[in-house]
């Protein structure tokens, strides 16, 4: 029987050939929607927004420059049309957090007559996690333990295959969200042959922030579990110009408890494949395909406790929405919707349903947002980063 470390390393070595399979360029030949700059934020629904905001600020080290709401429609279908939730759903507040350099985190608190309060595991179709890059993972993990955060197996170094060079450790926030710490100070093995590297805060000169987790640079990636990883990767490639320079797997433990200990899933769960996707500038998107005896194949709507979305910044919201709406597999909701008052004034948004099983939002604020006139800390934005060549 392999040790826990050997099991993951052996799986990664066996999948090394996947590392260089992927688009050879930034998908220009597929004509992605116009003006994509990168992932602006990842949105997650939490049971108590005050608790979640305080935890991200005090433990992780985030700032909350933008808070707005409430949103509801007591008699009409606005909430259903805009966000595909129950017509009587209410968003009491939205908070948008900056956690160092990289895509922001948008917190939602909902109340809804049909709200699903289950929390998805990583192996469920609604599974997701937030991964933060740290300079010294041993120091960062010790800090999280001292804060009393629920910890899983780790720090866990990957020593073989295309992902060799990274070390990880999963945690679970008190409100249910899975958080990963990741570090790869010497890079990863895939970089030796890949045409394109994953996005990294290091590449744009980021420095560790001065509060929260020691050595925190920012959000490295958001992890999403999808029912069909090939379909999800192709959709992101064709529509958003994303590339997948890092692909590896499978990962499993046929007899032991590695999978439970490492990522809090059923011991016989199998990660069939992992693809890490770069969408221009901003934090990466890590796609997982799982099989598991207890897998929940329901998809979460935005008002569920497991609800989440990724938001992509575009230069011109009207042309980008029109382009995406014409494409197969993109289900357009109400929009483009301009926000014309309050601290978020200046942004325009449009949500789409996708074959990934997850919602994708297009967002644009070419002249900034109202909150910026008084905020001490501004949100990070991929529009402020030079496009890759």
Assess whether pLDDT exceeds 50 at residue 277.
yes
Across 155-164, 169-178, 379-388, least confident range:
379-388
pLDDT reported for residue 241: 96
What is the spatial distance between Cα 319 and Cα 381, in angstroms, rounded to a whole number? 20
**What pLDDT does residue 205 have?**
87
d(CA 244, CA 251): 18
Which 3 state secondary structure label does DSSP give 29? helix
Q: Is the pLDDT of residue 185 over 60?
A: yes
Query: What pLDDT does 104 receive?
Result: 98
User: Does residue 9 register a pLDDT over 50?
Assistant: no
pLDDT in tens, 186-220: 999 999 999 999 999 988 889 999 999 999 999 99
Per-residue model confidence as pLDDT tens digits over 90-111: 999 999 999 999 999 999 999 9
Q: Is the pLDDT of residue 13 over 70?
A: no
Structural contact between residues 169 and 176, judged by C-beta atoms closer than 8 angstroms: no
Residue 15 or 135, more confident: 135
Q: How confident is the model at residue 299 (pLDDT cuts 50, 70, 90)?
A: very high
10 has pLDDT over 60: no
Q: What is the pLDDT of residue 382?
A: 96
The pLDDT assigned to 30 comes to 59
Domains recognised in the chain with CATH numbers = 4-384 (3.10.180.10)
Angle (CA) 35-224-64 rounded to 5° is 70
Please give the average per-residue pLDDT across 119-123, as a whole number.
97
| Region 141-157 average pLDDT | 98
**Between residues 128 and 19, which one has the greater pLDDT?**
128
Mean pLDDT of 145-172: 97
Residue 63 has pLDDT above 60, yes or no: yes
Grade residue 79 by pLDDT with cuts at 50, 70 and 90. very high
The answer to whether residue 29 scores a pLDDT higher than 70 is no
Residue predicted with more confidence, 94 or 388: 94
Please say if the pLDDT value at position 6 is more than 60. no
Q: How far is CA 79 from the centre of its chain?
A: 23
pLDDT score, position 284: 98
Higher pLDDT, 261 or 8: 261
For 26-34, what is the mean pLDDT?
64
Give pLDDT, residue 386: 61
Retrieve residue 4's tokens. Answer: 């826990």
283-300: burial string, b at 16+ Cβ within 10 Å, e else: bbbbbbbbebeebbeebb
Q: Extract long-range pairs of 322-330: CB within 8 Å, 24+ residues apart.
A: 323/33, 323/34, 324/33, 324/239, 324/352, 324/362, 325/352, 327/33, 327/238, 327/239, 329/235, 329/354, 329/355, 330/239, 330/354
- DSSP calls for 86-119: -TT-EEEEEEEEE-SSS-EEEEEEEE-TT-----
């Amino acid at each position: 029987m392999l040790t826990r470390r050997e099991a993951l390393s052996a799986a990664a070595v066996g999948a090394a050939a996947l590392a260089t399979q992927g688009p050879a360029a930034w998908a220009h030949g597929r004509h992605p929607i116009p003006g994509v700059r990168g992932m602006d934020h990842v949105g997650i629904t939490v049971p108590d927004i005050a608790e979640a905001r305080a935890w991200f600020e005090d433990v992780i080290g985030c700032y909350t420059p933008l808070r707005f709401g409430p949103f509801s429609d007591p008699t009409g279908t606005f909430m259903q049309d805009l966000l595909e939730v129950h017509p009587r759903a209410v968003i009491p507040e939205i908070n948008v957090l900056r956690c160092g350099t990289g895509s922001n985190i948008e917190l939602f608190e909902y109340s809804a007559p049909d709200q699903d309060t289950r929390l998805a595991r990583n192996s469920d179709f609604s599974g997701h996690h937030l991964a933060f890059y740290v300079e010294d993972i041993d120091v960062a993990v010790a800090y999280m333990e001292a804060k009393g955060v629920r910890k899983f197996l780790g720090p866990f170094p990957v020593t073989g295959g295309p992902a060799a060079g990274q070390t990880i450790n999963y945690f679970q926030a008190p409100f249910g969200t899975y958080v990963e710490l990741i570090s790869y100070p010497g890079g990863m093995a895939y970089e030796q042959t890949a045409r394109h590297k994953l996005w990294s805060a290091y590449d744009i000169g980021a420095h560790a922030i001065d509060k929260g987790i020691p050595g925190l640079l920012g959000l490295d990636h958001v992890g999403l579990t999808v029912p069909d990883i090939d379909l999800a990767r192709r959709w992101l490639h064709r529509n958003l110009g994303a590339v997948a320079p890092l692909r590896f797997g499978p990962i499993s433990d046929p007899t032991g408890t590695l999978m439970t200990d490492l990522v809090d899933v059923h011991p016989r769960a199998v990660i069939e494949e992992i693809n890490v996707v770069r969408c221009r500038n901003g934090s990466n998107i890590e796609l997982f395909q799982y099989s598991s005896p207890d897998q929940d194949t329901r998809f979460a709507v935005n008002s569920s406790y497991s609800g989440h979305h990724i938001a992509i910044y575009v230069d011109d919201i009207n042309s980008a929405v029109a382009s995406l709406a014409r494409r197969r597999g993109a289900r357009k909701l109400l929009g483009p919707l301009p926000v014309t008052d309050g601290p978020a004034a200046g942004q325009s948004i449009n949500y789409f349903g996708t074959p990934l099983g997850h919602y994708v939002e297009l967002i644009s604020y070419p002249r900034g947002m109202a909150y910026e006139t008084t905020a001490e800390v501004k949100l990070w934005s991929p529009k402020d980063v030079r496009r890759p060549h």
